[in-house]
Structures are given as C-alpha cells and as structure tokens.
Chain A
Amino acid sequence: MFATGFYLEREPLSLAQLAGALVDWLQNFGALAALGLVAWCIAHLVQMRGRKGRKRLNPLFIALVSIVFLLYAMVGALFLGRAMGIRVGNVMPSTDPSKLLTTGDWLLALAGSCAVLAVLLPMLGDLGTGRLRWRRIVALARLSFKEAMHRRVLLLVFAIMALLFLFASWFLTSKDEDQLRTYVWVMYFAIKVIFIMLAILLGAFGIPTDIKSLSIHTIVTKPVEKFEIVLGRFFGYCAVLTLGMAVISALSLLYIYRGINEKALEESYKARVPVYGELYFAGTKQKDKGENVGRMWAYRSYITGPHPTTPNASRQYAIWAFDAVPAEIARRDGAIPFEFSFDIFRMSKTKEDEQGEAGIYCTFTFADGRLPLTKISERIEDARKEKEALNAKARKTLADKKALEQRADEIERELAHKYGLYSISGVRVVDYHTLKVTAPADLFRKLQELESESPREATPGSTRPPSLQVLVSVDRDTAGSSSQMLGVAKRDFYLLAAERPFLVNFLKGIVGIWFTLVLILGIAVTCSTYLSGVISMLVAIFLFFPGLFVTDIEEFAKSKTEGGPLESLYRIAKGAPEAAPLDSSPATSFLKSSDVVYRWWLLRFLTVIPDFNRYDLNNYVGNGFDIPWIDQGLFTDNLVPLLGFLIPCAILAYYLMKFREIANPT
C-alpha cells in the first residue's frame, strides 16, 4: 500500500476549474433544494387544508419557487422534445466538466441557482438581520466543549492512541527507506479512524441527548435561535476535535523525530515542491496510452526498449510536456534537479531481481517543447558529434584531469544552450525508488530566450506547444533482452522546484484529516437535528463508507456510456441479444434518452455523497511531497469542497431544527 510511491487517483481540483465546479454545485444542490421545495409545498398544502389561510408568504419567495418549477418543467419539455425527435439543441447536460456547457447545463444551473436562492431566502430573512449572535453561539460551544471534557472522551482517545504508539514498532516493519512512509500512513490512518468515530459519536448524540433529557427546554426558552444551538454544538465539538488533534500531532511528530533512520530521512523527510508535466506517449499504439501489461491496477502505463531482433522498429517514448517552467529556474546556476520513481515490470525474473536490485537503463532527453520528435533525434546526433569534437580538442590542450572534467561540464552546458536540448543515456532506474537526474540551467535560460523572442502560440488545429518536453526511453537492455518494461505515470517524473520542511507538510496533512472530521461532524450534527442519536450515527457512517469509494463508483458510472435499466428491460422483453444494436424507432430512442438521464442522475447522486478520499493527504506527506496551499491543494481541493458540503448541511439543519417541535420528539 505505501511502497508504491507517490500517486494520486485523480487530479486535484485547480483554481481554473472552480467556476465549472460552481456550476456543477448549483446543478446538484440546486436540484436537492428543489426537491426540498416540493416537499415544503406538499407539507404546506396539507397543513393549510383545514385552516383558514392567514399566514402571508413572502411574494418574492413565491415568485422564485414558481420560476424554479417553470425552469425544471422547461428542461423536462426540451428533453421530451428531443426524445421525440424534435430539434431543440443539446439539452443533455455534459458529464465532462472540460466540455462546453450545453443548453441543458445552463438551464439546470439557472434552475438550481433559483432553487438555492428560494431556500436561502427565508433563512436569510430569519438570520440575516443580525439575529445570530456570537455571544450565544460561543456560550453554547463552550457548553458542548465542557460536556465532552466532562465525559473524558479525549482521555479515552489518548489512551487508545498511546496503546497504538506503544506497539506501533511491532507492526511497523518495512524497508528502511519506507520507514517514514509507513509511519505517516499508520499514524494518519489511526488518527483518522479514532477521531472520525469520536466526531460521529459527538455529533450524532449531542442534540438528541439534549432533547431526550429535556435540558434543551431551558435553552430554547432563552432568546436563542434554534440554529445557534446547532452551530454551538458544531463549533464546540470542532474545538474538542481540534484540541485532540493538536495533542496527537505533537506526539506523532515526537515519535517520528525520535526514531527516523538515515534512508527514510533522505527519501521522504522533506516536502518536495514538484512541477509536473503532462504525460503522453510516442511510438506506442495510442498517443495517450502506453502498452497494457495486463495489470489490474491501471494507474501506470508501460513502454519497452528496442527489441534485439528488430532494433530499428520505432522507439517507444514516455514524454512529459511542461507547459511552463517557473521563471526562477532559469535564473539559477548549475544543475536543475528532476526526480523520478518508476515501476519496472518484468516479463521474466532474473537473478538480479531476486536480489532486489534489478534495474534498467534509460535515456532522458530534455528538449525545447516546440521541436517535433524527428527533429529532436537529429539534433541529439548533431549535439553528440559537436560534443565529441569539443572534448577531443579539450583533451589536447588540458592535461589536468580536474580541469578536463570542468571543461567537459562547460561543453555540456554550452551545447545545451546552443541546441536547446540536453540528453543523458544510461541512467539506471530501480523499481520504486526515488532517483535524480539533472539538466543544466543553461537549457532553461535558452528556453526563456526563445520564449521572449517569439512567444509560443496556439496554431489553428493544435494547442500551444509546451515550453519543455522530456522524453524517456528504455535503452537496450544490458542483458540483451527486452523483457523489462518501464511503468510511468504523470506524477512519476517532475522538476524539483524546491524542498520545504517536513513539519509544515505534516501539519498540512493533519489539516486534511481535520477537514474530514469537520465534514463528518457537520453531517452527523445535521442528521441529529431531526433523527435520534443512533440513527444519526448510522447515517453518518453509511455516508462515510461509500464516500471512500466515490471515485471508483464514479469511474464505473462514467465508463458505462451505453445501456441502462430501461434498455435492458426492453431487450429482455423483446428477447433481443445483448450486443445487437436496437432498431431505431421513436420508442427506442426514448428508451435510450431515458437511460442517459438515468445514468446522469446516478452521477449527480454520487456527487452529493462527499468524497472523503480527497482529504487523505498521507500520500503527499509520507512520500515527501509538498501539499500546495492554494492551487490544486488545501484550498481548492479540500476547503472548497468542504464548504460545498457544509453549506447545504447548514441549510438543511436550519430548516429541520426550525420545523421541529422541541418538546414533542417523534
């Protein structure tokens, strides 16, 4: 689990994607809000049935609700129209965020926004006028905190953690260089499990216990908004969890400082700031895919070296395209470090393998991003020739070995600058071990010069070329066989822009866990405003576990682009075979569109389940990779989604609490 190097199951959300994410959010939670409005309308009509209509509703609210229903009706009508073959433009919302938004997208987002607004309106009317008071929320939070302390929940947690630490070294046996990885993985896991249980217990039982013991009666008969009780509980328990986490993190850090070994220190006791390129392949069957080696886990793609029998067959390359290299890099002196950690896949085991030190040799070529592949090979050849000539000349004039080495280095740098290209061969790659190659800074200076001379631009039909490309290919195997393949993934190779301290990164990882706790606490507290303690706990647990697999389920749902329950039913009814295409009639086209809607709803539904995995940052910390603060990091990928869930939770909690008869628990 932790010896596979740094990998991410999905790309973290970036700043550029936030607008799209907002549209998505409006569609999904807007739809939920609309469902809430429907429920409210039904309840309202039932309630008003026997009574004389006295309660005056806000006209703006009524208008918004009408617009919401109108818009959804419109989407439905357009969809029906399309299903019946009328040309109405694309009403199907796209499931791919990178695609352009369709008419359906816009309509749904608009309807969603109106629904959210309609739901927020009474709430803001109630609370927006300064009715919420920090004074009271803090008092209630203090009460919750005191209560938890009185129950000695933290002591219990600390006791469990102490036991874990005591026996940790028993089950924490691993390769030396994996030590910190293992520590971090185990620590984060233990902290997460224990504190999540604590958060669920605290959150789920706080308000229900209050209601059951009737103590809440003395609070709601004070000038306290019911929502303040929810917030007070939430913040109070947040404080409990924060305190607990602070103590545990400090202890964990002590444990790490005390026992870390040399190799692990080198491997992951740091926070690398990587710059990643986009990975694609050349010489393989598909541009964006390497060879499939039949491994279950498809995270990495594979390339092979030239086969001895067909040495002239096209070479396979894994290419990382760096759109932009930080300007600061070009100003540096000396060598620019790149790091990599690849997977080696063996068709047949050799003796070396058994000793665990097998390796294959690779060539790394750093080149101007604008150069096509063929040009690169030519230039490599030119550069090689010139280098040999220059070196020969140097050998004649310089006798001193040291001076000779210096000169060779100079030549290397000059040529890198001249050709906009630098290549090293015979780099030994060992399985899952972080290794380093360097490229002269002169190359990057050259890239910048080129850029200022004529900035890269997108040409019609193709996108803007990258600034730098790095080609990796497998050299001919020393053993003379090409039985080994090199497995690569986007994040396996990167420019090491900086190294930051481990401590801060460790704490960032803890913040990630803290976000998880806050989210699960928010969910538990929200449930507990309406449900009993036990039920709230179960709901929180049942939301949490699928939440761990959201990415996988989503992947699965997205992979199914055909079929659906209706189509299957139809096939069964008709006795049509699985694979045969359906005849095209209005009926089948309706079936198909309905199934599209079904799949789309399934995906939508999934987005409403919080993806808890995104807060698991042990991969970064354990492998020594810096967790970015803002872009693709704590802010965009963690805090924003957290708020995306907490805000609907808060709205739901507000209404559930408001409509709840405190003295009449059902």
Chain B
Amino acid sequence: MAGNEVVVETRKLTKIYRDFWGRQKKVALRALNLQVFRGEIFGLLGPNGSGKTTTIKLLLGLLFPTDGDALVFNQSAAEVKKNERIGYLPEESYLYRFLNAEETLDFYGRLFKIDAGTRRAKTQELIEMVGLSADKKRILKEYSKGMRQRIGLAQALINDPELVILDEPTSGLDPLGTRWMKDLIVRLRDQGKTVIMCSHRLEDVQDICDRVAILNEGELQELGSVRGLLEDVQRLELRASGVQLNDVLKRDLDEVLARHGGVIEFIGHPVTTLEDLFLRIVAQSKAHPGRRYQPERDGKERDGKDRDGKDRDGKDRDGKDRLPAARSPEVKDASTHIKK
C-alpha cells in the first residue's frame, strides 16, 4: 500500500536549542535522516525528551533547523503553501477556549481556500465524526481533555489533508476513544493519506504503524517496518486449541522440541489484552443495559496475576497505561478469542 513517493524527507536535520545570547542549551536532534512515503503510517518513538516533538515542529516550520533540511512535499518546511495539504494535531491541543466546536472548525476552515457551503458541511461532518454533535454549541473551555483532543483532530482534518501529523493522538482518550482514534488513523491511510504520529503507547503504535523510527537523545536508533523489527527469529510461537494443558502434553512437547534442539520457555493459556476486555465489557454493557458486576455470578473475584509481568508477546507492559480502576492488570480468560 505504501508507494514509493517520498512525502517527507529530512536530511541531516539538526536542532540545537539556544538561549537569547546564542549559548547552547540542548541538542534536541542530531543529523536525522528520514524518509516517509505516501500512504503509510509512520511512527516516531522514543522516551521523553528524545526529540519527537522537535522533529515534528521542524517539519511544520514551527522551528527552524540549525542545520540540514526538512522537506515536505519536496518543499522547504518554511514554505507556507505546503500547509494547504497538511493537517496537524499538536501534542497538547490548545485551541481558542472561547469558541465552541462549530466556531472553532469554522474559523480554521476560513484559513483555507474553501467556499462557505463546503466549509459548513465539512464542519458538521467532522463534528459528527469525532462524536461531539451533542456538545457542538458548548465553548471549548468547558471541554474535557479527551473532548479537546477530538476537536483538535477535527481541526486537523478540516482541509482534507494529504499528510496528517499527529503528536500523541491518543493521549487523554479513553480506551474507546483510543480504539476509535486508531481505527480513524487506519482509515486515513486507507484513503491514501500519509500519517506521521508519535506516541508512547507502544501497543497502539504496534497495531497501526507501518514503519517506525526510534529516537533517543535526538539520535535515530532504529528505523524499519514494524513487522520486521518485532519479528524475533530466535524464537518460535505456537498456538493451539482444543487441548487442555496437562503434564503429559507438556512432556510430549518437551520431547519433540528437544529432538529439534529447542526448549520450552513458557506454556500456558493465552491472555487477552486489557484493551480487548475493556472494549468487550463496554460493548456488553451497551447490549444489556443494567448489567453490573456480580461476585456471585462470576464465582469469585478473579485474581490471576501474571507471574512474570509479561504478556504473550513477552513485551514489557507500560505501567502507566493500566487503568487504576482495574484491580488486576491482566485478567486471564480462557474463553477469549485468540488474537490473530
């Protein structure tokens, strides 16, 4: 799906923050070389302060490079005209708080060459899409963080952009919203748009990104397709259904693997993600209004702690993503469907 047309390119892009007197404060980005192709979702990863936002701001012309070039649509990032084809959702979506959702989109629409009729239609369409129809007459000051994030996204899409740049699009969204956002991003790609996003939620990135770049301390550490990066050729995973785990099975499998020179690292029932559980429960609750948690029906409080704090993929779970309401971070559920 990703074509070969380069939409965004950086060449030795370097950014050094300086103070008023020109003294060096921080090297935020060091000689970054990147290419983003049309029609892909490109993820920028890295710990806090690694230069993700800096990269994005350089691409948008919000910052001037200290050295090197940032090219968008083959034009310099300083060029204003390129913005006609770009949508940008800032890290923190600061819009004008005295405007309501409609006025906000109308205002941003006026900055583009869109005629009044189209602008109005687009405004309604986007408000509908981000699920703020009920709140469209309220001023943004009264919005919750997630609602602001939604209107921020709508604002970024007002011009039907070819390139969408999203700085932490899922921050502040509830799991439902996160899924919706992810679906939307995938949909944008399917429409042929290019998406550049950065996020700390690795599972989100893993789910939707085609390629990722991992930055640390302003330097590119890793670049490649998600599949390619995550595939661990040293290991083998096998999933089976129709059998219960017992000692005989374990011994048999051990034998087979031993013949081939391998060894079992882990064997047990698969665990779903909290996200899946959450989504399922919310869906059930919608389907059966009045449903509530009943200890009797479920027998006992489930307390299945994951032994080594790792999920199926062996990937470290980011602690901050856990919902505080959930008593156990990961719930074992034998009956869940297996993720593909």
Residues of A in contact with B (beta carbons under 8 Å apart): 50-51, 131, 135-136, 138-139, 142-143, 146-147, 150, 213-215, 217-225, 661-664, 666
Contacts and interface: CB of A to CB of B under 8 A. Distances in A.
A218 B155 contact: yes
A223 to B, nearest CB: 4
Contacts of B152: 218
A51 B67 CA distance: 8
A214 B111 contact: no
B90 A224 contact: no
A221 to B, nearest CB: 4
B110 interface: yes
B138 interface: no
Contacts of B67: 50-51
Nearest to B156: A218
B73 interface: no
B112 A222 contact: yes
Contact of A218 (B63, B64, B98, B108): B108
Contact of A143 (B61, B107, B112, B159): B107
Given A131-B80, A147-B98, 9 more contacts: A135-B110, A135-B113, A142-B107, A143-B107, A222-B112, A222-B159, A223-B80, A223-B83, A224-B83
Given A51-B67, A131-B80, A221-B60, A136 B111 contact: yes
Given A139-B110, A223-B112, A666-B20, A214 B92 contact: yes
24 contacts: A131-B80, A138-B110, A139-B107, A143-B96, A143-B107, A214-B92, A215-B96, A218-B88, A218-B94, A218-B95, A218-B155, A220-B62, A221-B60, A221-B61, A222-B83, A222-B108, A222-B111, A222-B159, A223-B80, A223-B83, A223-B113, A224-B80, A224-B111, A663-B62
A181 to B, nearest CB: 43
B19 A666 contact: yes
A224 B79 CA distance: 10
Contacts, number: 79
Interface string B54-88: 00010011111001000000000000110110101
A135 B111 CA distance: 7
Interface in B135-167: 152, 155, 159
Given A139-B107, A217-B90, A666-B19, A661 B64 contact: yes
A661 B63 contact: yes
Interface of B: 17, 19-20, 57, 60-64, 67, 80-81, 83-84, 86, 88, 90, 92-96, 98-99, 103, 107-108, 110-113, 152, 155, 159
A302 to B, nearest CB: 59
**Highest count of chain B CB atoms <10 Å: which of A213, A224, A664:** A664
Nearest to A131: B80
Contact of B95 (A142, A215, A225): A215
B110 A223 contact: no
Contact of A663 (B19, B57, B113, B159): B57
Contacts of A214: 90, 92, 94
Nearest to B99: A146
Contacts of A221: 60-62, 83, 86, 88
Contacts of A217: 60, 62, 88, 90, 94
B165 to A, nearest CB: 8
B162 to A, nearest CB: 13
Contact of B63 (A138, A219, A664): A664
A50 to B, nearest CB: 8
Given A146-B99, A213-B94, A219 B62 contact: no
Given A217-B90, A218-B155, A146 B98 contact: yes
A139 B67 CA distance: 35
Contacts of A222: 83, 108, 111-112, 159
Contacts of A146: 98-99, 103
A51 B64 CA distance: 14
B98 A150 contact: yes
Contacts of A219: 111
A136 B80 contact: no
A661 B94 contact: no
A652 to B, nearest CB: 19
A150 B60 CA distance: 30
B84 A223 contact: yes
Contacts of B19: 666
What 7 A-B pairs are tightest by C-beta distance, nearest first? A139-B110, A663-B62, A150-B98, A222-B111, A221-B88, A223-B83, A214-B94
Contacts of A224: 80, 83, 111
A414 B159 CA distance: 84
Contacts of B107: 139, 142-143
Contacts of A220: 60-62
A139 B81 CA distance: 18
**Highest count of chain B CB atoms <10 Å: which of A138, A150, A221:** A221
Contacts of A225: 80
Contacts of B113: 135, 223
Nearest to A126: B80
A661 to B, nearest CB: 5
A467 B110 CA distance: 62
Contacts of A50: 67
A89 B61 CA distance: 53
A214 B20 CA distance: 20
A130 to B, nearest CB: 12
A136 B110 CA distance: 6
**Highest count of chain B CB atoms <10 Å: which of A214, A223, A224:** A223
A51 B69 CA distance: 12
B110 A662 contact: no
Nearest to B87: A221
A143 B103 CA distance: 10
Given A214-B92, A218-B90, A223 B111 contact: yes
Contacts of B155: 218
Contacts of B60: 217, 220-221
Nearest to A664: B63
B153 to A, nearest CB: 12
Contacts of B86: 221
Contacts of A150: 98
A219 B80 CA distance: 11
Nearest to A147: B98
Contacts of B80: 131, 223-225
Nearest to B165: A221
A396 to B, nearest CB: 89
Given A147-B96, A150-B98, A223 B81 contact: yes
Contacts of A138: 110
Contacts of A666: 19-20
